[in-house]
C-alpha cells in the first residue's frame, strides 16, 4: 500500500499516511485533528449530491418562498426577488448579504464541484481542475444555506402571532438543496479530492522515507501547502500541485488576527446598543435590540427559538472573541501550557463562527416579507450592519490565525531535546501539556 508523508494542518507533525480504506479516518496522533476521511465511491456520490443540490437550488428560485397574510392583504416573496426587494426598499447591504451568502457562494461552490468531479468520474483532469479545487477550499466557510434556514424558522416564530404564514414550494426545495449541499461537502473531503486529482493525472506521490517520530515539517526544513497539503522544501515558493504561494506559516498571522478581532470587538458595541430592527404597526414604532428580541421570544413561550438566538447572537460572538483573544495573546506571550485546550478552542472558533449570522438573516427575511403599507412594516436598524460586520470580521480573524503557532514554542524545545539527547520526546510533550 503506497503511503505519503504529510504535515498536520493543526500542529505541523510529519505523518506517514497510507491510502485510506472506505469508512476509515486519519487522525493526527499529536493534536487529535481529523486529517482526512474516506467513503465508498466518493466521486460518484459527491457528483450526484452536487448535481441534486444545484437542481434544487434552481427549483427554489422561481416559486414563492414565503407569504405573509394579514387583514386581506398578502405579501409574497421568493428567493430570486427578495434581494431585489430589499435593494429597492433602500437596504442594499442586506440585499448583498442575502444574495452572496445563501445563493451566489453556494452556486459557485456546487458549480466548481461539478466541473471538477464530472471529469474525475471519467478518469480525466482538465486544466482548470486544480484552480477550481482551490476555489472550493476557499469558499467552504462562507456558504451559509443551513444558517439561513434556521434564520427563516426564527423569523416564522417571531411573526406567527401577527398574521398567517404560508410556506411555499421554494422553501421545501431550498431545504432539499441545503441537505444535498451538506452531503456533497461531507462525502469527499479536501485531501481525498486532491488525491483523486493526482490519481486521474497519473501522479504518484508515494514516499518511501519514514518521517521521524514526533518531528515537525519545519524542523526538517519542510513546509506544507496550506491549500492542498503537499509537502515541499522551505525554499520552494509555489506549490507543485495547486500552484498556490507557499509559506511555512500564514504570513503576518498574529497581526491579521489582532486587526480583525479588534475591529469586531469595536463593532460589537453598537451592534448591541442600537436596534437591529424596527416594527412599525399602525404608525407606532417598536425598536428591538438583539437581547430585546431574545427576551420577547422567551416571553411569548418560544423557549427553544429564544435559546437558539441567544446562543447564536450573544453567547457565540462573545465566546469566539474571547477565544481568539486568548489564542493570539497566548502565542504572542510564548505560553507553553494547556496546548490541548487551546487547540480545542481554535477548532470551536472555526466551527461556530458563521452561525452568528442567524440574526442578520432573520432581519433580512422579516424586512422582505413584512411590508404591508401603513398597516405593518419591519425595517432594519443600524445594528444589523454592525452585527453582520462583527460576524465577518471574527470569521476572518479565525481564518487568519495559524494553529501551528500554538505548537511552535514546544517544537523548539523538542528540537533542542533531539539535538542534546537529554530527554525523551514523549516525556517532554507530556510535561508541556500538563
pLDDT of 131 > 50? The answer is: yes
Between 303 and 104, residue with greater pLDDT: 104
Q: Does residue 158 lie in a domain region?
A: no
Residue 426 has a pLDDT of 42
Of 15-24, 130-139, 346-355, highest mean pLDDT:
130-139
Question: Looking at residues 144-168, what average pLDDT do you find?
Answer: 83
The pTM for the full model equals 0.86
pLDDT of 419 > 50? The answer is: no
Residue 425 has a pLDDT of 38
Residue 421 has a pLDDT of 37
Rounded to the nearest angstrom, the gap between the alpha carbon of residue 148 and the centroid of all alpha carbons in its chain is 13
Backbone φ and ψ for 206, nearest 5 degrees, come out as: -80, 160
What's the pLDDT band for 374 if we cut at 50, 70, 90? low
Instruction: Quote the crossing angle between the two packed helices 105-121 and 42-59, to the nearest 10°.
Output: 140
Residue 155 has a pLDDT of 83
What are the helix and strand counts (H, E) for the chain? 17, 12
Given 3-state DSSP classes, what are the helix, strand and coil percentages for the chain, each rounded to the nearest 5?
60, 15, 30
Question: Looking at residues 324-336, what average pLDDT do you find?
Answer: 90
With cell 432539499, the residue in question is 176
Number of independent structural domains in the chain: 1
Count of residues in the chain: 434
What's the pLDDT band for 138 if we cut at 50, 70, 90? very high
Element (H, E) at 84: helix 79-88
Between 204 and 165, residue with greater pLDDT: 165
Ramachandran assignment for 5, one of left (phi > 0), alpha (psi -120 to 50 degrees), beta (any other): beta
Instruction: Quote the crossing angle between the two packed helices 129-139 and 190-200, to the nearest 10°.
Output: 180
Nearest alpha carbon to residue 318 among 212, 391, 233: 391
Question: Looking at residues 322-350, what average pLDDT do you find?
Answer: 88
Q: Does residue 308 lie in a domain region?
A: yes
Q: Does residue 30 lie in a domain region?
A: no
Q: Does residue 267 lie in a domain region?
A: yes
Lowest mean pLDDT among 236-240, 338-342, 407-411: 407-411
Q: Is 119 helix (H, G, I), strand (E, B) or coil?
A: helix
Report percent pLDDT > 70 for the chain. 88
pLDDT of 199 > 70? The answer is: yes
User: Can you give the CATH number for the domain in which 310 is found?
Assistant: 1.20.140
Cβ atoms 239, 246 nearer than 8 A: yes
With cell 422561481, the residue in question is 62
With cell 431574545, the residue in question is 294
Rounded to the nearest integer, the mean pLDDT of the chain is 84
Q: Does residue 358 lie in a domain region?
A: yes
Residue 154 has a pLDDT of 84
Q: Does residue 220 lie in a domain region?
A: no
pLDDT in tens, 62-108: 888 988 776 667 778 888 888 888 888 788 888 898 899 999 999 99
Element (H, E) at 268: helix 253-273
Q: Where are the beta strands (DSSP E) in 11-168?
A: 14-18, 25-27, 34-37, 66-70, 73-77, 164-167
Cβ atoms 182, 146 nearer than 8 A: yes
Between 90 and 433, residue with greater pLDDT: 90
With cell 438566538, the residue in question is 309
What's the pLDDT band for 246 if we cut at 50, 70, 90? very high
Furthest CA-CA distance within the chain: 84
Q: CA 299, CA 72: separation in Å to the nearest integer? A: 28
Q: Domain containing 322: what range?
A: 251-402
Amino acid at each position: 500500500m503506497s503511503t505519503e508523508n504529510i504535515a498536520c494542518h493543526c500542529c505541523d507533525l510529519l505523518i506517514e499516511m497510507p491510502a485510506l480504506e472506505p469508512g476509515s479516518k486519519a487522525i493526527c496522533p499529536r493534536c487529535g485533528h481529523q486529517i482526512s476521511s474516506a467513503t465508498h465511491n466518493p466521486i460518484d456520490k459527491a457528483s450526484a449530491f452536487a448535481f441534486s443540490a444545484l437542481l434544487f437550488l434552481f427549483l427554489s428560485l422561481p416559486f414563492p418562498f414565503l407569504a405573509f397574510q394579514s387583514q386581506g392583504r398578502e405579501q409574497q416573496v421568493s428567493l430570486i426577488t427578495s434581494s431585489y426587494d430589499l435593494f429597492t426598499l433602500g437596504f442594499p447591504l442586506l440585499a448583498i448579504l442575502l444574495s452572496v451568502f445563501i445563493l451566489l457562494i453556494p452556486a459557485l461552490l456546487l458549480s466548481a464541484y461539478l466541473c471538477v468531479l464530472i471529469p474525475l468520474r471519467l478518469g480525466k483532469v482538465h486544466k482548470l481542475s486544480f484552480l477550481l479545487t482551490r476555489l472550493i477550499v476557499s469558499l467552504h466557510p462562507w456558504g451559509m444555506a443551513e444558517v439561513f434556514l434556521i434564520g427563516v424558522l426564527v423569523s416564522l416564530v417571531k411573526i406567527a402571532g401577527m398574521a398567517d404564514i404560508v410556506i411555499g414550494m421554494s422553501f421545501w426545495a431550498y431545504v432539499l438543496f441545503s441537505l444535498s449541499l451538506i452531503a456533497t461537502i461531507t462525502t469527499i473531503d479536501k485531501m481525498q479530492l486532491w488525491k483523486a486529482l493526482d490519481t486521474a493525472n497519473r501522479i504518484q506521490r508515494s514516499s518511501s522515507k519514514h518521517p521521524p517520530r514526533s518531528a515537525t515539517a519545519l524542523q526538517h526544513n519542510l513546509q506544507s501547502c496550506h491549500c492542498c497539503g503537499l509537502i515541499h522544501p522551505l525554499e520552494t515558493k509555489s506549490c507543485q500541485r495547486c500552484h498556490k504561494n507557499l509559506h511555512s506559516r500564514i504570513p503576518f498571522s498574529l497581526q491579521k488576527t489582532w486587526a480583525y478581532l479588534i475591529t469586531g470587538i469595536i463593532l460589537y458595541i453598537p451592534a448591541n446598543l442600537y436596534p437591529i430592527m424596527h416594527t412599525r404597526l399602525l404608525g407606532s414604532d417598536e425598536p428591538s435590540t438583539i437581547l430585546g428580541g431574545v427576551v420577547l421570544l422567551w416571553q411569548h413561550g418560544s423557549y427553544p427559538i429564544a435559546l437558539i438566538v441567544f446562543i447564536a447572537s450573544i453567547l457565540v460572538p462573545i465566546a469566539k472573541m474571547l477565544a481568539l483573544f486568548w489564542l493570539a495573546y497566548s502565542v504572542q506571550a510564548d505560553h507553553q501550557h494547556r496546548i490541548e485546550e487551546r487547540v480545542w478552542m481554535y477548532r470551536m472558533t472555526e466551527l461556530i463562527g458563521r452561525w452568528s449570522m442567524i440574526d442578520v438573516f432573520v432581519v433580512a427575511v422579516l424586512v422582505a416579507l413584512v411590508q404591508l403599507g401603513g398597516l405593518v412594516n419591519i425595517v432594519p436598524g443600524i445594528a444589523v450592519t454592525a452585527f453582520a460586520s462583527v460576524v465577518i470580521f471574527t470569521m476572518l480573524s479565525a481564518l487568519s490565525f495559524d494553529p501551528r503557532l500554538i505548537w511552535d514554542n514546544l517544537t523548539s524545545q523538542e528540537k533542542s531535546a533531539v539535538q542534546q539527547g537529554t530527554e525523551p520526546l514523549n516525556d517532554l510533550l507530556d510535561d508541556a501539556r500538563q
